[in-house]
């Protein structure tokens, strides 16, 4: 329910309002549907203060709403004028008028550190996936929502370097923006055919590990640009080694400078997997958390596929390891809940290895049926249709049938919705 502003009209001569009757000030009004189209962020990591310019899209209804976690809001203005706001249950409602054009809003605030991957860590890195962006900046955490970004990070201690994208020019989910601060050295790996520079930011004692983990990263990224479609997030990309807590492995798709745990830096698959999110999970957003497999299953497949093309021995070893991981998945694990907006990705146990591995082997089974080159064509067609937008796994199944002529419904049921984990093999 949205509260509409009350128009206070002075009566004159019966029920006819005076033409110059004043209108009551607009009150802060919840409007969750009003989209964010651009986000400009500037952080002082010493003062732990920040400013953000949020540009809201046009809306026929007044008000606007942002998630703000435990941020301390200092000031809200629009075009230099104080804008009334209200905060309740970690939500910021604004007194923004309806408009047929975008409206920028400036917010000054303070933030605090959060561990457990839920904001800005005292360890010098950020992560807000899946829905903790409000602990770092006023935002929309819905994975379907996309915004362009600019970012500046100042107040960095002497001798340290902050690695972050100054801009994310294509619409991205809120969890994509991030920074990392440490004693970084940059290793330039090379440039793709399209002119994209690929690098790894690492610490001095990680050079050999970075070289091993990035041995085929340029070739894999080049293959994805040429095979799937143009990269959307800039012309310089690469891995940033982050000191996640002990026991944390893997990475996070903070494109164009994605993060990989220091413990996983030497893994070629991890580096290529995070790179592949530039096409699925970032380049194409998921419409609902239930479509998590569209991001992670597709990306896991793409990492294995790219590596088997550019480094066959590495690719073969990757698929062998995937098969081993597949056997450890519980038959009751969720892969693709066929709903939208009704589950919590963490609390409802969707964030497991099942969407990664069973999703990857679904595409592998499809490749066994129609050929790997045809699956490449499916992914390229899907990317051409949905890049910069949100999409569903159902959309992917429709694209598979349209491109290949094969109805993947039964194969998808086997790999994505059945309660038992099947053995690898081609689709029926």
CA distances (Å), origin 169, targets 37, 38, 71, 233, 390: 11, 10, 26, 6, 16
Output the pLDDT for position 23: 53
Query: Can 184-278 and 286-417 be said to share one CATH topology?
Result: yes
**Given a cut of 60, is residue 228 above it in pLDDT?**
yes
Q: Write out pLDDT tens, residues 91-120.
A: 999 999 999 999 999 999 999 999 999 999
Is the domain spanning 184-278 CATH 1.10.390.10? The answer is yes
Q: How far apart are CA 360 and CA 319, in angstroms?
A: 10
Fold of 26-176: Immunoglobulin-like (2.60.40)
Query: How buried is residue 231: exposed, middle or buried, by Cβ count under 10 Å (0-12/13-18/19+)?
Result: buried
Output the pLDDT for position 2: 31
Q: How far apart are CA 270 and CA 331, in angstroms?
A: 25
Is the domain spanning 286-417 CATH 3.40.190.10? The answer is no
Which backbone phi and psi does 397 adopt, to 5 degrees?
A: -60, -40
Residue (of 113, 140, 139) closest to 126 by Cα position: 113
Output the pLDDT for position 24: 60
The domain limits of the chain are: 26-176, 184-278, 286-417
Q: Write out pLDDT tens, residues 252-298.
A: 999 999 999 999 999 999 999 999 999 999 999 999 999 999 999 99
Residue (of 316, 312, 349, 310) closest to 333 by Cα position: 349
258: left (phi over 0), alpha (psi -120 to 50) or beta: beta
Q: Write out pLDDT tens, residues 44-63.
A: 999 999 999 999 999 999 99
């Amino acid at each position: 329910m949205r509260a509409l502003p009350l128009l206070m009209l002075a009566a004159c001569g019966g029920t006819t309002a005076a033409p110059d009757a004043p209108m009551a000030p607009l009150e802060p009004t919840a409007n969750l549907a009003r989209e964010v189209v651009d986000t400009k962020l500037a952080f002082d990591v010493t003062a732990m203060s920040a400013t953000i310019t949020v540009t809201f899209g046009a809306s026929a209804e007044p008000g606007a709403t942002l998630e703000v976690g435990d941020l301390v809001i200092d000031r809200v203005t629009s075009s230099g004028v104080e804008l009334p706001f209200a905060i309740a249950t970690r939500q910021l409602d604004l007194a923004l008028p309806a408009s047929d054009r975008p409206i920028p809003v400036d917010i000054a605030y303070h933030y605090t550190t959060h561990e457990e991957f839920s904001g800005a860590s005292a360890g010098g890195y950020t992560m807000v996936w899946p829905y903790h962006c409000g602990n770092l900046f006023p935002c929309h955490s819905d994975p379907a929502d996309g915004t362009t970004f600019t970012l500046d990070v100042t107040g960095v201690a002497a001798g340290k370097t902050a690695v972050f994208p100054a801009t994310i020019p294509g619409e991205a989910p809120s969890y994509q923006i991030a920074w990392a601060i440490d004693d970084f050295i940059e290793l330039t790996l090379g440039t793709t055919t399209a002119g994209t520079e690929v690098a790894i930011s690492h610490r001095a004692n990680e050079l050999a590990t970075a070289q091993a983990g990035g041995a085929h990263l340029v070739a894999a990224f080049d293959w994805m640009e040429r095979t799937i479609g143009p990269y959307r997030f800039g012309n310089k990309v690469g891995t940033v080694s982050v000191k996640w807590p002990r026991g944390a492995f893997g990475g996070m798709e903070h494109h164009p400078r994605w993060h990989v745990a220091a413990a996983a830096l030497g893994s070629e698959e991890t580096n290529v997997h995070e790179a592949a999110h530039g096409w699925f999970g970032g380049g194409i957003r998921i419409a609902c958390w239930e479509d998590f497999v569209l991001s992670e299953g597709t990306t896991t497949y793409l990492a294995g596929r790219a590596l088997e093309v550019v480094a066959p021995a590495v690719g073969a070893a990757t698929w062998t390891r995937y098969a081993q991981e597949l056997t450890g998945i519980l038959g009751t694990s969720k892969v693709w809940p066929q709903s939208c907006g009704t589950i919590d990705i963490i609390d409802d146990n969707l964030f497991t290895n099942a969407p990664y591995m069973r999703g990857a082997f679904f595409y592998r089974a499809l490749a066994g049926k129609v050929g790997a080159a045809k699956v490449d064509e499916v992914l390229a067609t899907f990317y051409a249709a949905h890049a910069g937008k949100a999409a569903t796994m159902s959309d992917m199944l429709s694209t598979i049938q349209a491109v290949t002529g094969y109805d993947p419904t039964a194969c998808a049921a086997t790999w994505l919705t059945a309660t038992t984990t099947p053995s690898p093999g081609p689709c029926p």
